Every structure is written in C-alpha cells, then in structure tokens.
C-alpha cells in the first residue's frame, strides 16, 4: 500500500482570495515504511508577501524570487502522488484547498478530497479533548521535533510520518516479516514472506533429571489424566 505524507507552506490562509503555496514537502510510505523517496520544492507565489508573513517560515520575497512557479513543478508533483496513493495530511482540508486551487490554475485535474487522510481528525478521535497540533502529538509520542524552530514542509512531513505511524497503532519492527527478494536483493513486488526455518534446530534445554521428575509426576496423576493421555513418553 502506497501512501504520501504531505505538507505545504502558504502565504496566508485564504486560497480563494490570492494566497498561494510557497513550499511543498512530501515523502513516500510503502506498507507504512518510508521508502526514502521524497518530493520537496520551493515555489515563487507570483505575489508580494504581506509584511511579516514569513517570519515563522524563514522565507521571504528575495528567497522565493528565483524559485519556479507552480505551473513549472505541477507535473512533477502530480507524478509523485500518482497511482491514487492515499495522502496523509495534518488538517487536510487546508492543504487540499490550496493544492486544488494551484492545480486548477495550472490546468491540471483537482485531487478528490476522498484521497486525503486527515491526521488532525484521527488524533481528535483517538484523544478527544487533548491538543492535536503536530507539536503536541510529537510530545505525546516522544518524536524528536527539536529542529522545528522554523516551519518547513519537508521536515513537517517527516515528523508527521512518525506521528501517523503511532496514531495507527505504533511501529512494531519486531513484527515485520522479512521481504521476499530477487537475486539482486530487491523486494519481489512488495510481497512479504515468513522467515525461513533454522538450518539446525536449537538443542533441547530439558535435563535428564527434569524429564525423570516429570515422568514421576505424571504417573501419580493416574492413567485417565490429560497429562498421561497426551504425554509423549
């Protein structure tokens, strides 16, 4: 199962009245494991920023002036989220509204809202009444967000991926089955298979004295006891 954890940074809060996306950060999960594939781009919003609008982002007019416009990166973004992958987004309605406004402006089909999985709603359902910001969830799950002094779309996506995996039940690496591999050590169509049996069985740990004590104990229980009927001796 392919999923894309995604975050955007914008010039403001109103996609319908001129605010634009200035950064997209996304990473790929396959069967809830990061593949290492990411999509990250800064975007020229084609407008002058309101004074102080990017104080929390560390971005500004000068930094963004030579960055590509959304239309120039739209195809790469669409290709990255292709195959109807689920989009994991914190406060999905906000990001989806901006993404669809940009895609529509660039002449691309909009993304159905059904593709989005909103981790904000997921957190509120799981922990009703508790803070559900990304920072609050990082604290709850012990996710290190010490580098989040300034917002950044790719960093927030990486943090959200860890939070998301905790929200859906926690990462349990000991329960992950070994992947089937081709001769070049690559996974076989993402399929999983149990680990192979040990080439040499482990030696028994039961001593002769313990075995004799067990036999004597079972004899005292009588021939009709469960132990007597099923004891291999």
Task: Give which of 19, 21, 16 is closest to 7, Cα–Cα.
Answer: 21
> How far, CA to CA in Å, does 87 sit from each of 26, 111, 116, 126, 228?
9, 10, 5, 19, 59
Rounded to 10 degrees, what is the CA torsion of 45, 107, 161, 39?
-70
What one-character-per-residue DSSP string does 116-171 give? EEEHHHHHHHHSTTS--SHHHHHHHHT---TTTTS--HHHHHHHHHHHHHHHTT--
Q: Are 163 and 32 in contact (CB under 8 A)?
A: no
151 is catalytic: yes
Instruction: Find the helix packing angle between 92-105 and 70-80, rounded to 10°.
Output: 120
Q: Are 162 and 136 in contact (CB under 8 A)?
A: no
Of the candidates 40, 57, 90, 151, the residue annotated as catalytic is 151
Phi, psi of 191 (to 5 degrees): -75, 155
Q: Which residues are designated catalytic? A: 151
């Amino acid at each position: 199962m392919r999923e894309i954890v995604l975050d955007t940074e914008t010039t403001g809060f109103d996609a319908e009245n001129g605010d634009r996306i200035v950064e997209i950060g996304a990473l790929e999960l396959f069967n809830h494991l990061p593949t290492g594939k990411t999509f990250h781009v800064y975007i020229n919003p084609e407008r002058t920023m309101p004074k102080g609008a990017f104080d929390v982002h560390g971005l500004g007019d000068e930094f963004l002036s030579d960055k590509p416009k959304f239309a120039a990166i739209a195809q790469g973004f669409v290709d990255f989220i292709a195959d109807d992958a689920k989009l994991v987004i914190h406060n999905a309605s906000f990001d989806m509204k901006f993404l669809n406004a940009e895609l529509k402006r660039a002449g691309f089909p909009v993304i159905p809202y059904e593709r989005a999985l909103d981790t904000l709603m997921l957190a509120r359902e799981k922990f009703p009444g508790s803070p559900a910001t990304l920072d609050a969830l990082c604290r709850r799950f012990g996710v290190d967000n010490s580098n989040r002094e300034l917002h950044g779309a790719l960093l927030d996506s990486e943090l959200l991926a860890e939070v998301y995996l905790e929200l859906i039940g926690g990462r349990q690496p000991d329960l992950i089955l070994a992947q089937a591999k081709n001769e070049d050590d690559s996974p076989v169509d993402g399929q999983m298979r149990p680990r192979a049996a040990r080439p040499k069985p482990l030696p028994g740990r039961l001593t002769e004295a313990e075995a004799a004590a067990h036999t004597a104990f079972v004899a005292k229980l009588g021939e009709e006891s469960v132990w007597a009927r099923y004891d291999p001796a």
